[in-house]
Chains A and B, each alone.
Chain A
């Protein structure tokens, strides 16, 4: 005669546990971009919050102007929102958005060159912590030509990989490497000259 054995099974997880909405804060950039492409402004806001500092830094260090940097970031993000359905998953969202803002920054520099707009004093940037060493570093960065500055900002300040920077800057990786090398060398020379009595 067989004996009946009672086995206690663990309670089933509630179905909602399998379909819990992805928290925006934890979602990947690409997922948020897809949601944004469907018109989800909350998802896009998460991307804005996630990238605003890096985009502002990028634009500020390239344009050397707080006001221009604000414009570049704002216009860049609005352009991104309008074009987000064209963002394809074959590139990283970060590279895509950096590229958009960088293009705005270059446009600003071109416009400034044409109209000879004065650049506001970089030291006056209100969002920089003031410290003499830091201001020297920023001034040395600002003394570089825009393309060298952009390479140094992309790789060293923002922390992009060489390939990512190449894509964002629209130049080959070898060019980024060489520009970065020269940018660092010039900055070191500039800082050394300032230090000399």
Chain B
């Protein structure tokens, strides 16, 4: 049986669980790289371009870990999502750069919904693995269902956090960042645990449900940020609008060093919170960030609230 390796970094967190279940249902063995650890980061930092962003460096580390451990490594080329908004330009070249880096062959397909639907691209991808149309459709259906279930759970989780049953003694703190920083606990230096220890409730921006707001008056409202062509830009700004309807005590933005998109985004995220007098902390993470430094800054931030 063929094994497909999936690096647990960067684009994996854009669709967690989807790729795993899709390939599993097609009848392949999956090899997920482990959670990020020190060796992986060091491997990645060593070989990558010094100026690329920290998240990218972590991704290369995962890729090197998978090298020669499986038959294929899956690195999709994500270009646009279903709202026809672009992903980060650094994602566009991932498969090509991966080919330079590892000996194992790379399994890739271009997901560009400006040109074709996601399902059509999935069919193409399946055909590369010599599966027929029916099998692929079946596998995709199950994978979509599982993804949906996960989203539902996230939503429930969010409402539990935002309206706690015990009356809400904890400080509610919004964590604004990309999913690959929020869910990777080594990369964000376990910021969620740290906040919980300081008696705060971290609310991930990723969990904020957005479907309801999109349909309502939101479009017509006069917003103060430029129209982003990045999917995360638009999404994060909209989610911030949504979260501001609830009562939050503070906000923290985590950004990986060298992230070009965050340099733009931060300006407008910061303004949204500052305009409403919500304390805002900007944390930059990279391979040299120490846990003690983050701890001190978090404690100081919590004290100001």
Do these two chains really belong together in a complex? no
